């Protein structure tokens, strides 16, 4: 998807949730040796442009499916590795914007906006859709604007309405108190905000400007975030901040040793090239994943085991890259 299209939609609420508890996984993160080299083993194009132009891919938690949307976030599809088939779940407008994938990957969650009446007023709903049966269950309906959903654990969905955080128990499909959550850091309305017991307690804006994409390391308190017009920043748990100039769309590897991102080139009028890079931490040694390939790509996401990276080409192909990490 072209960068201009993405930026125009980022004026909407951007909501990404991060757990603030330091839950370093045994055998991961700083307990593993730093990455010395990354080699591209192979590329596999998973979708055909004859089926559609697809963007924003993400793996299911079990690694068996990749979910994605199309131009302007219309509809949601998935690619199944066992069957090697692309299946459409819905063609509704706008539902692909920040949709959430349940664990292990049998259900998805998204926001629907419907205009009705002669004044074309917008009504919002958050829905759950079963991937296997395609059954849709409405979780929330509101005349007030609500944020896209975020899964914060196996049984809990989070969303915002009128500046207040709400939680839904996905087992009972009912709301539960906000104080049941751990402390969180959220990217909300292009700012990093702190939430404690369901209430916003402060704003953390490490760099002036709008934060477009943000991601917390899965193994420690390090934060990676993109500031509009300034590139990618990484803030570690000691408070030190480093910049990856021109970096966009950060995505941490599951073991926290690497971060994938995008770098673009422009002729001053339009984007002429977009490449996927991976930086090893803490050295920030940079690897151009597509250096030898005539492919412009964006929106990288890691497989759960960290051996694959999925992304979309500018032409709308979903591509999986197998990696040799040394």
- pLDDT per residue, tens digit, the chain (326 aa), is 444 433 333 333 344 444 444 444 433 444 689 999 999 999 999 999 999 999 999 999 999 999 999 999 999 999 999 999 999 999 999 999 999 999 888 999 999 998 887 777 889 999 999 999 999 999 999 999 999 998 888 888 989 888 788 899 999 999 987 665 566 766 666 667 767 666 666 656 666 567 888 788 888 888 888 888 889 999 887 888 889 989 999 999 999 999 999 999 988 888 889 999 999 998 999 999 999 999 999 999 999 999 999 999 999 999 999 999 99
C-beta neighbour count of 245 within 10 angstroms = 8
d(Cα 269, Cα 267) in Å, to the nearest integer? 6
Q: Residue ranges per domain, the chain? A: 3-325
In words, the CATH class of domain 3-325 is mainly beta
**The whole model's pTM is what?**
0.86
């Amino acid at each position: 998807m072209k960068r201009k299209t993405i930026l125009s939609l980022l004026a909407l609420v951007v909501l990404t949730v991060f757990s603030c508890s330091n839950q370093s996984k045994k055998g991961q993160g700083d307990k593993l040796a730093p990455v010395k080299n990354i080699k591209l083993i192979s590329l596999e194009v998973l979708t055909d442009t004859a089926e559609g132009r697809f963007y924003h891919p993400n793996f299911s938690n079990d690694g068996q499916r990749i979910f994605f949307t199309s131009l302007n976030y219309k509809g949601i599809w998935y690619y199944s590795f066992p069957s090697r088939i692309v299946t459409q779940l819905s063609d509704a407008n706008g539902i692909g914007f920040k949709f959430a994938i349940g664990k292990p990957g049998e259900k998805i969650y998204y926001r629907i906006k419907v205009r009705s009446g002669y004044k074309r007023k917008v009504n919002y709903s958050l829905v759950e859709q079963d991937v296997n049966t395609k059954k849709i269950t409405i979780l929330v309906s509101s005349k007030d604007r609500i944020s896209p959903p975020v899964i914060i654990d196996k049984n809990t969905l989070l969303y915002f309405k009128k500046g207040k955080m709400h939680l839904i128990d996905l087992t009972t499909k009912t709301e539960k108190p906000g104080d049941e959550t751990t402390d969180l850091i959220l990217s909300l309305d292009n700012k990093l905000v702190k939430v404690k017991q369901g209430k916003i307690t402060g704003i953390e804006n490490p760099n002036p400007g709008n934060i477009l994409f943000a991601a917390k390391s899965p193994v420690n308190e390090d934060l990676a975030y993109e500031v509009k017009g300034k590139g990618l920043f990484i803030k570690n748990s000691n408070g030190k901040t480093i910049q990856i100039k021109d970096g966009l769309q950060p995505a941490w590897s599951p073991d926290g040793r690497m971060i994938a991102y995008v770098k673009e080139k422009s002729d001053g009028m339009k984007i002429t090239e977009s490449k996927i890079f991976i930086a090893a931490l803490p050295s920030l040694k940079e690897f151009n994943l597509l250096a030898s390939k005539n492919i412009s790509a964006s929106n990288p996401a890691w497989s759960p085991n960290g051996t694959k990276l999925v992304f979309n080409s500018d032409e709308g192909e979903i591509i999986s890259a197998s990696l040799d990490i040394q």
